[in-house]
Amino acid sequence: EIAVGILGTGKYVPERRLTNQDLERMVETNDEWIVTRTGIRERRIAAQEQATSDLAYEASVQALKSAGISAEELDLIIVATITPDMFFPSTACLLQEKLGAKKAAAFDLSAACSGFIYGLANATGFIKMGMYRHVLVVGAECLSRITDYTDRNTSILFGDGAGAVILGEVPEGRGFKSFKLGADGSGGELLKISGGGSRLPSTEQSVSERRHYIEMNGRDVFKFAVRVMGSAAEEALASAGYEKSDIDLLVPHQANIRIIQSALERLDLSEDKAMINLDRYGNVSAASIPLALAEAVEEGRVKEGDCLVLVGFGGGLTWGASVLVW
Ligand code: ACO
């Protein structure tokens, strides 16, 4: 069987920062509340002319360069996002055109913040079955476009950014050892955008009722996240035949520092074993894990042979975890 792993990583964040102090001027909140409840200090916000495919493009160019392959060598592009440029064509098709990846098939994947892990599992399957050699998996979001900046419960959490990886064959013994994906549609109400789809098409009323923004039950999402981050990681470890003590680096979805801390506790890991950058970027949904991974690589925190656990949760509800030997 072919061993499949990551050949290159890339990331992109827009320049503009939205700090807690900025938010203090927009909604009834304060820096101290946001930092103690979430760990977030600032987020990046896309420029007016930027959309998700533009962020995805920058991260992808970097990933291709780091993998040492050209866009023409890509066989498939998967973009995980809840903020596509438009309903269709898919953001993956827009990206294919921007990159000039003429040979590549392309599709978007919708699994909210778990989308990147779902994408990795898809890509690994395609390569293992011998259908494709090089797959680009991107998590990219412009969450600022679906965030209600009059709602203090959600506006403090989200930001914009992108992360990308190239998947392909790696030497035996390395690469992805397991995937654990899950969903619980009964919790769909906890985190959603209800307007603009076929159930509630865009109308003047849907706009005035603010149905095109993220609606969230923060407390219940928090409880779900605490439960599932630990269990998904444990299940992925077990199915790969690894122990908690084998973990060199945890790369978690960056939603809330307290959620990450509870996962660390459950996995018997100290905080230095987790890649954390939510203080600088907030929650970037599908982009958060690849962005954290790309920064971990950049900072030299990942060495050949290291055991990484990637784990995330999100709307759907969905979750995903993977064990990866670098
Ligand atoms: N500033 C000041 N006070 C606030 C703010 C704010 N920004 N937001 C809420 N409060 C108040 C609330 O009104 C509440 O007041 P009350 O007790 O008088 O009612 C109080 O603070 C406590 O509110 P809680 O909601 O209980 O606060 P909690 O500790 O749960 O933190 C948070 C809220 C940060 C949203 C947390 O629940 C959380 O992180 N949940 C998970 C959210 C998440 O990860 N969502 C994304 C999933 S990923 C995806 O798919 C996009």
Tell me how far apart the 2 most distant CA atoms of the chain are, in Å: 57
DSSP codes of every residue in 266-325: HTT--GGGB---HHHH-B-GGGHHHHHHHHHHHTT---TT-EEEEEEEETTTEEEEEEEE
The number of the ligand 1 atom at minimal distance from the alpha carbon of 152 is 7
Is the CB–ligand 1 distance for residue 153 below 6 Å? yes
Provide the annotated active-site residues: 113, 253, 283
Centre of ligand 1 from the C-alpha of residue 118, in Å: 27
Tens digit of each residue's pLDDT, the chain (326 residues): 899 999 999 999 999 999 999 999 999 999 999 999 999 999 999 999 999 999 999 999 999 999 999 999 999 999 999 999 999 999 999 999 999 999 999 999 999 999 999 999 999 999 999 999 999 999 999 999 999 999 999 999 999 999 999 999 999 999 999 999 999 999 999 999 999 999 999 999 999 999 999 999 999 999 999 999 999 999 999 999 999 999 999 999 999 999 999 999 999 999 999 999 999 999 999 999 999 999 999 999 999 999 999 999 999 999 999 999 99
Tokens of residue 292, six digits: 């954290």
CA 114 centroid distance within chain: 6
Nearest CA to ligand 1 atom 32: 218
Q: For residue 182, what are the CA distances in angstroms to 7, 42, 101, 115, 179?
A: 26, 30, 31, 11, 10
The number of the ligand 1 atom at minimal distance from the alpha carbon of 253 is 48
Global confidence as pTM: 0.96
CA 36 centroid distance within chain: 23
Whether the CB-CB separation of 64 and 71 falls below 8 Å is answered with yes
Nearest CA to ligand 1 atom 36: 218
pLDDT at residue 103, as a whole number: 98
The number of the ligand 1 atom at minimal distance from the alpha carbon of 27 is 7
pLDDT at residue 233, as a whole number: 97
Q: How many CB atoms lie within 10 A of CB 175?
A: 22
Residue 325: beta bridge partners?
Answer: 175, 307
Centre of ligand 1 from the C-alpha of residue 219, in Å: 6
Centre of ligand 1 from the C-alpha of residue 172, in Å: 45
Centre of ligand 1 from the C-alpha of residue 55, in Å: 28
Which among 266, 270, 294 has a CA at the least distance from the CA of 281? Answer: 294
β 16-19/42-45 pair status: antiparallel
Is the CB–ligand 1 distance for residue 91 below 6 Å? no
- What ipTM, to 2 d.p.? 0.91
Is the CB–ligand 1 distance for residue 223 below 6 Å? no
Nearest CA to ligand 1 atom 30: 219
Q: ∠212-207-283 over CA atoms, to 5°?
A: 25
Nearest CA to ligand 1 atom 7: 152
Whether the CB-CB separation of 263 and 293 falls below 8 Å is answered with no
Can you count the helices (H) and strands (E) in the chain?
11, 13
Is the CB–ligand 1 distance for residue 257 below 6 Å? no
Centre of ligand 1 from the C-alpha of residue 153, in Å: 5
Q: How many CB atoms lie within 10 A of CB 28?
A: 8
Is the CB–ligand 1 distance for residue 114 below 6 Å? no
